[in-house]
Chains A and B, each alone.
Chain A
Amino acid sequence: MKVVELYSDADHQWLILGRDPEKPENIMDTNQFLVLHSGKGLLAEPGGIELFAPMLRSVLEYIAVEDIQQVFVSHQDPDLTSSLGLWDDVLPNGTPVHGPWIWEGFLRHFGLDHTEYKGIPDDGSTIAIGGLGLQAIPAHFCHSSGNFQLYDPEAKLLMSGDMGMAIEPGQSEAPFFCRDFDSHIRHMEPLHRRWMPSKQAIRAWAERVQHLDIQVMAPQHGRVLWGDDVQRFLNWVCELNVGPDANTGD
C-alpha cells in the first residue's frame, strides 16, 4: 500500500493510501484517506475487505488504533465500506462512523457491533477531530442517492468521493497526482457518463462547492486534481452529458 501526503502543516496532515501492489488484479483500485490532527485520526473511505490488512498495517505506521476517533464514508459502495465490519473489531468502542443517514440500515449489514453509526443529515454536518472541523458537503445523486464529500477548510482540500474519479490502464502504478488535465479527461469521462445521473445533479453540486476554497480535490478513484485543475474539472463536468443523456447530445 502506497501512502502519499496530500497536505501537511504542523500537527495537521492528510494522507492518501492506495495503489496497493499486492491487490488482486480484478479489484478496482481505490483511494483511502487518513486525516491526522493533534494526534487524533479520521479514516475516510476505509476501503473494501480485500484491502483491510494492508490498510491497517499502513495506518498503524502513523497512528495507534485507539487514536482513530472518527470514520467517514461518502456513500454505500462496497469498495469503500465493506471493511467496516473488520474495522469494527479493531477500533475503540463507540468510535463514530459518519455516513449518509439513508444508508445506515444498509451499512449495518456489515456488522457494526462496537462502532456507532452517525447518520449525516441531508444538509450535511461538521465532524470534529482534534479541534479541527471537517465539513460533510452534500453531493446527493453524485453518484449515490445519499452522498457526502469531506471538506477541510484549513487544508483547502475536498475529498470528493466518486466525483473526479478515473480509471486508467496500469492504475496501480499510476501517480497519485494529475499533471495534465486534458489528457486525464479520457480516464474520467466514461465513468462520469455512466455513473453520474444528470447535469442537474452535477450542477447543483458544483454550485455548492463553487464558493469553497479548494486547492486539492481528491477522488476515491484515480488521480488527485489540484490548483487550477479543480476549476477546470468543474467547468468540464458541468457540461458533460451523463446518465440517460450520455449519448443523446442533449
Chain B
Amino acid sequence: MHTRSLSEEDTSSPEPAKAENEEATPHLLSARSAADLSSILEEILSMSLMGLNARVMVSKSNESGLGLDPVSARLNELAGNISGLIDRASREAVEVSRLTYKISVADRAHAPLKAVLEDSVRQTASYERLQGLLERNRQQVRDFQVTLDMLHQRMWTAEHLAVNTRIEASRVSDRELRVQFEGVAGWMRSSVRTIEQVLQRVRPRLEELRELSEKRCDRLKENETL
C-alpha cells in the first residue's frame, strides 16, 4: 500500500479520465479505483490521529480552549466516518472488479454454447449464471455509487468543519493552542482536496462501469451476441 506524508501531497489536477479509460477493461477500471481509494486511507488515519491529539490538547488547556472541544470531537467522529466510507468504497470497487472478471469468464464459456445451441441457450445453466452475475454487478455498481455520493457529502462537511475550526481557533487566547488548531484546520482542508481529487478520478470510471453494466444486462435480455 502506498502511503503519503503531508509534504508529499499531490496537488496536481486530476488526470484526464478519458485517456486513462480508453482501453481499460471493466475489472481494471474498478481495481484502479479500489487502489486509489485505499491509497488515501492513510490520509484519513492521520486525520483521526490529529482529532485525538486535538482533544488531548483541549482537555489540558484552561477555559480559553473549551470552545474547541466540540470542534475536536466532531473532527474525530468525522475522520472515523470518512475512513469507514473509503474502506467500504474500496471494498465495493474490488467486488465490482471481481464480478466483472467473473462475467468475462462466464461470457467466454457461454459464447460457444450459444453458437451451437442458438435459441435454446436461454435454458442452460450458463445463461442463468451469466444473468445472475450481471444483476449482481449492476447492484454492486449502484452501491458503489451511493457510497461515493456519501463520501462527497462528508467532504463538504469536512470543509465546513475546517472553516469552523479556524474561526474557533482565532478566538482562543492561548497562542500555542491557537497555532495548533490553525494547523489542524489547514491540514483538514488539504486532506479534503486530496480526497476530492481521488473522487474526481474515480467518478468517471464509475460512470463508465455503470453504463457498461446496464448495456450488458440489456444485451443479454435481448439475447444478442455477447
Given contacts A60-B116, A111-B102, A114-B129, A90 and B124 within 8 Å (CB-CB): yes
Contact of A86 among B108, B115, B116, B117 (CB under 8 A): B108
CA of A90 to CA of B114 in the docked complex: distance in angstroms? Answer: 11
CB-CB nearest in chain A for B112: A53
CB-CB nearest in chain B for A56: B112
CB-CB nearest in chain A for B101: A111
Report A176-204 CB contacts with B as 1/0, cut-off 8 Å. 00000000000000000000000000000
Of residues 7 through 37 on chain A, the ones whose CB sits less than 8 Å from some CB of chain B are none
Report B88-115 CB contacts with A as 1/0, cut-off 8 Å. 0000000000000010011011111101
Of residues 92 through 137 on chain A, the ones whose CB sits less than 8 Å from some CB of chain B are 92-93, 111, 113-114
Contact of B113 among A88, A90, A92 (CB under 8 A): A90
Decide if A52 is an interface residue (CB 8 Å cutoff): yes
> CB distance A65 to B113 under 8 Å?
yes
CA of A133 to CA of B116 in the docked complex: distance in angstroms? Answer: 31
CA of A89 to CA of B132 in the docked complex: distance in angstroms? Answer: 12
CA of A221 to CA of B106 in the docked complex: distance in angstroms? Answer: 28
Smallest Cβ distance from A79 to chain B, in angstroms?
Answer: 18
Given contacts A52-B108, A56-B113, A90 and B125 within 8 Å (CB-CB): yes
Q: Main SS of the interface on chain B? A: helix
> CB distance B105 to A93 under 8 Å?
no
CA of A188 to CA of B126 in the docked complex: distance in angstroms? Answer: 39
Decide if A57 is an interface residue (CB 8 Å cutoff): yes
Contact of B106 among A52, A89, A93 (CB under 8 A): A89
Cβ–Cβ < 8 Å partners of B108 in chain A: 52, 86
Smallest Cβ distance from A95 to chain B, in angstroms?
Answer: 10
How many inter-chain contacts with C-beta < 8 Å in the A-B complex?
A: 46
Cβ–Cβ < 8 Å partners of B116 in chain A: 56-57, 60
Cβ–Cβ < 8 Å partners of A114 in chain B: 125, 129
Decide if A151 is an interface residue (CB 8 Å cutoff): no
Decide if A85 is an interface residue (CB 8 Å cutoff): yes
CA of A196 to CA of B117 in the docked complex: distance in angstroms? Answer: 42
Interface residues on A, range: 10 to 19
Cβ–Cβ < 8 Å partners of B113 in chain A: 56, 60, 65, 90
> CB distance A87 to B109 under 8 Å?
yes
> CB distance B125 to A93 under 8 Å?
yes
Decide if A43 is an interface residue (CB 8 Å cutoff): no
Cβ–Cβ < 8 Å partners of A66 in chain B: 125
> CB distance B112 to A52 under 8 Å?
yes
Cβ–Cβ < 8 Å partners of A86 in chain B: 105, 108-109
CA of A58 to CA of B97 in the docked complex: distance in angstroms? Answer: 33
Contact of B110 among A57, A85, A89 (CB under 8 A): A89
Cβ–Cβ < 8 Å partners of A60 in chain B: 113, 116-117
> CB distance A89 to B126 under 8 Å?
yes
> CB distance A52 to B109 under 8 Å?
yes
Decide if A91 is an interface residue (CB 8 Å cutoff): yes
> CB distance A65 to B112 under 8 Å?
no
> CB distance A90 to B126 under 8 Å?
yes
> CB distance B125 to A91 under 8 Å?
yes
Smallest Cβ distance from A96 to chain B, in angstroms?
Answer: 15
CA of A164 to CA of B108 in the docked complex: distance in angstroms? Answer: 32
Of the A-B pairs whose beta carbons lie under 8 Å apart in the complex, a sample of 23, sorted by A's number, is A52-B108, A56-B109, A56-B116, A57-B112, A57-B116, A60-B113, A60-B116, A60-B117, A65-B125, A66-B125, A85-B105, A87-B109, A88-B109, A89-B105, A89-B110, A89-B129, A89-B130, A90-B109, A90-B110, A90-B113, A90-B124, A91-B125, A114-B129
Would you list the 6 A-B pairs with minimal beta carbon distance, nearest first? A89-B109, A53-B112, A86-B109, A90-B126, A89-B106, A56-B112
Binding site for A on B (CB under 8 A): 102, 105-106, 108-113, 115-117, 124-126, 129-130
Q: A86-B109, A89-B109, A89-B110 are in contact. List 20 more A-B contacts (CB 8 A).
A: A52-B109, A53-B111, A56-B113, A56-B116, A57-B116, A65-B125, A66-B125, A85-B105, A89-B105, A89-B129, A89-B130, A90-B109, A90-B110, A90-B113, A90-B126, A91-B125, A93-B125, A111-B102, A111-B105, A114-B129
